[in-house]
Amino acid sequence: MKTPLHERSLVLVKPDGVQRALVGDIISRFEKKGLKIVGMKMVWADAKLAEEHYDMPKEDKQALGERTIAAYEEKGKKIDKTPVEVAEDVQRRLIKYITTGPVVAMVIEGAHSIAHIRKIRGHTNPLAADVGTITADLTIDSYFISDPDERAIRNLVHASGSPEEAKREIDLWFKKDELHDYDLAIEKVLYSKDWEATRKDLVEGK
């Protein structure tokens, strides 16, 4: 794998982040890191966009359902549904959450941006998140509170989990002419002009 100098990620400040006036705080964490915002807008997603955003292949649904059932069983709760049915329940909760109000959608670019952004966002479950991350610092939600209400855990930020996910999500949320090409000062400091040309053979981990 080539070093992904211009890797892109879709980041959403979810409706709870907008409601709680945390947009500035959240964006500034990514900016200060040295990542580049190449697209940004406020969107109130309709059901169609939300469904497409949380759409997943059948095998991912199966895996999500199995994970969720295992987590419930660990807490001593028996589930009488198939994994796919459980995953579809989870998807319905996610769609409801993401459409409750406007989100701030961004495409953020930089070397290893997906990994950096996931670290800054923190663990999905705020109770398990490391201090310094968004989910640890800015919310006290937990599965303990959200499960009985049958709602998605409110964790302020969505961030793409892989390059494939990022590509699919960016194409869904942004048109080509909404993404902008410009230079950030940090790029001049870190990368020489021919950085990519001279390091095409770079393999991660080598």
Q: Is 161 in the site for ligand ADP (CB under 6 A)?
A: yes
Give the DSSP letter of residue 148: T
Member of 55, 161, 192, 198 binding Mg ion (CB under 5 A): 161
- Alpha carbon separation from 107 to 128, 157, 194, 200 (Å, rounded): 26, 13, 24, 24
Nearer of residues 105 and 198 to ligand ADP, judged by Cβ: 105
Query: What backbone phi and psi angles, to 5 degrees, belong to 107?
Result: -110, 125
Whether 112 sits among the annotated catalytic residues: the reply is no
Q: In 3D, which of 2, 4, 15, 10 has the Cα closest to residue 37?
A: 10
Q: Is 60 in the site for Mg ion (CB under 5 A)?
A: no
Closest residue to bound ligand ADP by CB = 124
Residues 6+ apart with CB under 8 A from 88: 61
Of 13-72, binders to ligand ADP (CB under 6 A) are 68, 71
Q: Is 94 in the site for ligand ADP (CB under 6 A)?
A: yes
Q: Which residue ranges make up the site for ligand ADP (CB under 6 A)?
A: 68, 71, 94, 124, 143, 146, 152-153, 155, 158, 161
Show which residues are catalytic: 158
